[in-house]
Chains A and B, each alone.
Chain A
């Protein structure tokens, strides 16, 4: 019988199959090399290309390199890595390949929160933490909870279309809110909000980067620690994941918390940088497959490389002026989103 021969064939096949653990062991070194190359390109390319001899002899050139270019490239890497990993995590959690902080309206919420903070005074601190960050965190958390509640039909299944619509509406409401605040704020403050919304990865020295890491590091750890739970959610549904031992509610809470932290940090520092969490995880899927336990670290490394290169492009495209890096990621991300939307309609009804 044909079933017999199929059985025999399948049982001899798995010996040489690339298993998931192996896939990760291949992916990580490969992506680290990619990241190093991107890092070196980011350091080398600029308004003035890196001059190694000047770096040794000229203290000003050295200061420019160490206090401006190096921290900027590192910052781009941190933000890109964080946003990409959050995207991969949210896609698994919501079982929606189009989910990411920007499409779900989480960045929008954070922007609204931050705009309110700027309108009332940018420099304020609460126990050493800038108010703008706290406001962005509140905005991000509220949005992620709202979008989650809206997408659940009376405690039932998650509706992919409803999730994205809720995200769109949140984004629209948030930007309307930002407009109102800009309109009401003083001219100087309004300009500040505008400049900040456009976003820039300009940074002087490493102080800000250390501060960012205080919040980013725990968020990264939380996401990686839940990689398996997210994988079990992505391969099935809430109930099947729960029947395999996943504490679904706790996983949701932890991923929401980590996402809000990451979005708040990146939005308060770099403004709205959309679509990184969409482009990067999908690129990683093409190469390394669907397993979320591989996808999270792979997106992290690839995201860092991606935003370093995007920011390098932003710095030199219209040199000596600069483009906002968010414009570049959005120009790339829009078409990717549409492509994925078309593909998703094959799998599930919106």
Chain B
């Protein structure tokens, strides 16, 4: 039930966040909170500040104003290593130049848990392989990352995030390069991570089709502001979506699901 996630204490919280690139405001006074164990989706038009918010949550950038609270403490008070142990980040895509094997890439997810001059143990290797297996991609382990398709590479990146054994996984449009089959696979994998590993998930997505059966919370952004948030059925309606995307959007409920399409 989506509602049950609204009661526990928030794992990650934005308090009046503002951020500007040079003098260009990207985020204006955004406040939201994601409860532990929830699966949240961040939607909005291109340039609406979604990526900026994810990067602020990851700690890759520091807010201009406001604060990010993680598990009751200021995110900026966590050191890099601790942050990397608890928060994992999956970018939109990664380009790879050197032909590392998938396993080598996933093993780097273990580095926040070991010393600077330590190599990964067989224990770490098992965690890395389990991560790949959790995504039904064990066959990729010894393949070279440079020879994988975009979808396979994205699975490897998510497996690396999983190998970090984080409390929260933040994903920046992980499905943008994927076809329908792989997209569905990815969403299924994320749901499995939440259900079986208890990982809190926040992902940016443009795919409104898969939202309401999968996610507990949806946050809609427009021009750097949060314009709507709540359970899928509260956000996925024509009024909110029309405002978010500034275009005529149709939404219809049928067979217990919301279907969204755009009027041409």
Residues of chain A whose beta carbon lies under 8 Å from any beta carbon of chain B? 3, 6-7, 9-11, 13-14, 17, 19-21, 24, 95-97, 160, 225, 228, 231-232, 234-237, 239-240, 242-247, 290-291, 293, 344, 347-348
Contacts and interface: CB of A to CB of B under 8 A. Distances in A.
Contacts of B136: 3, 7
A194 B68 CA distance: 59
B16 interface: no
A96 B81 CA distance: 26
Given A10-B132, A10-B141, 7 more contacts: A13-B141, A96-B97, A160-B97, A234-B100, A244-B109, A245-B111, A290-B99
Contact of B88 (A6, A19, A228, A243): A243
Interface of B: 55, 58-60, 80-81, 83-84, 87-89, 91, 94-100, 104-105, 107-109, 111-112, 116-117, 119-120, 122, 125-126, 129, 132-133, 136, 138-139, 141-142, 146, 157, 160, 164
Contacts of A97: 97-98
B93 to A, nearest CB: 9
Contact of B83 (A95, A96, A231, A245): A245
B108 A7 contact: no
A95 B146 CA distance: 13
B99 A244 contact: no
Contacts of B120: 19-21
B133 A291 contact: no
A17 to B, nearest CB: 7
Contacts, number: 112
Contact of A236 (B87, B105, B117, B125): B105
- 6 smallest beta-carbon distances between A and B, as pairs: A21-B119, A245-B84, A10-B138, A243-B89, A6-B139, A245-B80
Contact of B84 (A24, A160, A244): A244
B104 A7 contact: no
18 contacts: A7-B136, A10-B132, A10-B133, A14-B126, A19-B125, A21-B119, A95-B97, A160-B97, A231-B108, A235-B98, A235-B100, A235-B105, A237-B94, A244-B109, A245-B83, A245-B112, A290-B100, A348-B95
A284 to B, nearest CB: 13
A108 B45 CA distance: 47
B133 A19 contact: no
Question: Which of the listed residues B94, B95, B105, B112 has the most CB atoms from chain A within 10 Å of its own CB?
Answer: B95
Contact of B116 (A10, A24, A96, A225): A225
Given A10-B132, A21-B119, A245 B81 contact: yes
Nearest to A347: B146
Contacts of A348: 95, 97
Most chain A C-beta atoms within 10 Å of own C-beta, residue among B58, B88, B139: B139
A14 B124 CA distance: 11
A13 B55 CA distance: 37
Contact of A290 (B87, B104, B122, B126): B104
Nearest to B22: A155
Nearest to B139: A6
Nearest to A5: B139
A24 B107 CA distance: 16
A246 B79 CA distance: 11
B164 A244 contact: yes
A19 B119 contact: yes
A225 B139 CA distance: 34
Nearest to A8: B138
Nearest to B141: A10
A228 B129 CA distance: 21
A260 to B, nearest CB: 23
B201 to A, nearest CB: 15
Contacts of A96: 97
B173 to A, nearest CB: 13
A316 B192 CA distance: 67
A240 B89 contact: yes
B144 to A, nearest CB: 9
A20 B126 CA distance: 14
